Amino acid sequence: MTQQRTISIVVVDDHPLFRVGITSMLETLDGVAVVGAAASVEEAIAVVGETRPDVVLMDLDLGTGSGIDATRAIVREHPETGVLVLTMLGDDESVFAAVRSGARGYLLKTATPQEVERAVHAVADGSMLLGPDVVKRAVAYLSGAKSSGGSPFPELTDRENEVLELIARGYDNPRIARALVLTSKTVRNYVYGIIGKLGASDRSGLIVLAREAGFGQPDEGAAS
């Protein structure tokens, strides 16, 4: 009889209680072993480099860092490792930014243990798995993208177009947050999502791309 292989997992979350809780749950599953944990982008990259796990369970909000950055670095340096996002962020921008950064799976923290177990096995096998709530949002987004017209970037939502317009005008994240009445963290997530969707290398490249498409007619005080 062939012995079932053990799936090694690293848990990345900056909330200690959640990190301990999800680790305890994972350790009750057959064929699963948690081999490391991290609370920041830097720790995640280091621990994954040391342990070379099959799966990384990744939160997107890592305090001063982003799980998008951690995912991108891990996938680039260790393409054999699958990243499964487990987060409270269920908005379109976060989902698509995570997928564009290389994540193979995306679940909300409201997922059941059975859903997490199924996703862990799918990601470890090289498959892509999105949670049911995430799938609904993805279908709604794609349907809206197909029916929309007139925008240079139809893959962007209305809110993303608003953010891109202000980026093209030279606004930094705090000023965008004030202008659109958003939190700085939300703006940061929007920026990551836009960069991912449009394939820009960084914020400077995004500004060039946006201005070439007609965004960013400067207003008075835009650089102040």
DSSP labels, 68-108: HHHHHHHHHH-TTSEEEEEES--SHHHHHHHHHHT-SEEEE
Radius of gyration (Cα) for the chain, nearest Å?
Answer: 19
Structure tokens at 82: 């699958």
CA angle, residues 132, 26, 96, in degrees to nearest 5? 35
Q: Which residues pair with 7 in a beta bridge?
A: 32
Distances (CA, A) of 222 to 15, 97, 106: 37, 27, 37
pLDDT for position 140:
57
Domain ranges of the chain: 7-136, 148-212
Domain 7-136 shares a fold with domain 148-212: no
Distance of CA 131 to the CA centre of its chain: 14
Quick one: which of 19, 23, 21, 30 has its CA closest to 9?
A: 23
pLDDT tens across the length of the chain (224 residues): 445 789 999 999 999 999 999 999 999 999 999 999 999 999 999 999 999 999 999 999 888 888 999 999 999 999 999 999 999 887 777 888 888 888 999 999 988 999 999 999 999 998 888 877 666 655 555 555 444 445 678 788 878 888 998 999 889 999 998 888 888 888 999 999 999 888 888 899 899 888 888 888 654 444 43
Question: Does the pTM of the predicted model rise above 0.85?
Answer: no
Domain 7-136, CATH number (from 3.40.50.2300, 3.50.50.60, 3.40.50.970, 3.40.630.30) = 3.40.50.2300
Q: Which CATH number does 148-212 carry?
A: 1.10.10.10
